[in-house]
Structure 1
């Protein structure tokens, strides 16, 4: 396993202002520890139970990001430690995150997930739904969450024109709403197959798994 070398290779290709989230889902503790020992501190998981068990076993200065689709009834299990939740795609979810964060006297950072992919399988909010949430009076009552940016998942395709269109649409939208909501500074888009393109189109946070850890171990 060349985790250290893979990490260095990626870090050499991304600008300093871009946060690298090492996507460690399905990967064993030993692999994450190896990446940690190589200097990586930000890790992303898509299942809360898996993230909780890894949080318990690994150094406490790791910044854990929840990058998968979020089930509201499981927010309580990670509310005491999660650093950033990427895939928030409903007002009800924001309400639950605020409620659970309050119990731990924390403010949890969140990204609103925009639906930019043409695929039906991807979750997310339309741009108009995002604007509605941000303008909501009720949102101002939530003291234990901070919406710090947007996240988007592009279509799983090698069509560079389509990816460019999808990434550009989210970058343009973020710039537009930042005039009104200047705190929305994070733009999370780009994965192992398309992160250089995503960065060139405005992403400042990339979620990279297989290029660091190798192909995922899917358990049947």
Structure 2
């Protein structure tokens, strides 16, 4: 076996540090353990390393990049398995989209995940992902006991859109992806970008109302 990680893992970028290469190799091993029954090594590594590329140019803490890449690759592989009919738990899947995936869609994801627990699946994404989740949105959600501080802006990908049963768009306009056969909703909400917590609270409350209504339409029991 080659001692050169970029030779044994051809999708690895050559400008990565040894620590980053090792972290990605560990991530690839974990993903293969979880998805090896559905996909080959090449597919899993390709998804991991293309996910890494999505964050490499804008992450403020490079040491966290392999972890972010693994989390995103895991989400994408779950989506691909559903699209290809290799795995489907029957849970409704909702995708929340906005421009920067930093405010509205992250709050919607937070409410949906908190209220639905494991009875439904929610993802979020942006047409032009920002560098971090809006601090005012994080603070406003914390007032409701929901922690979105560990979330991160990310793009949408084709397999994620195709795996969603419902796609909720919030201001991304023509940049939002359109795929036949999906249910689409446009939520017209003020953009919290650049606003303080006081201004974000009404946006947060309206998002909660809409998420609760959507869960009721999907017949998903809401956590107390």
The bucket for the TM-score relative to the shorter chain is: under 0.3
Instruction: State the TM-score, normalized to the length of structure 2.
Output: 0.26
Instruction: State the TM-score, normalized to the length of structure 1.
Output: 0.26
Higher helix share goes to which structure?
2
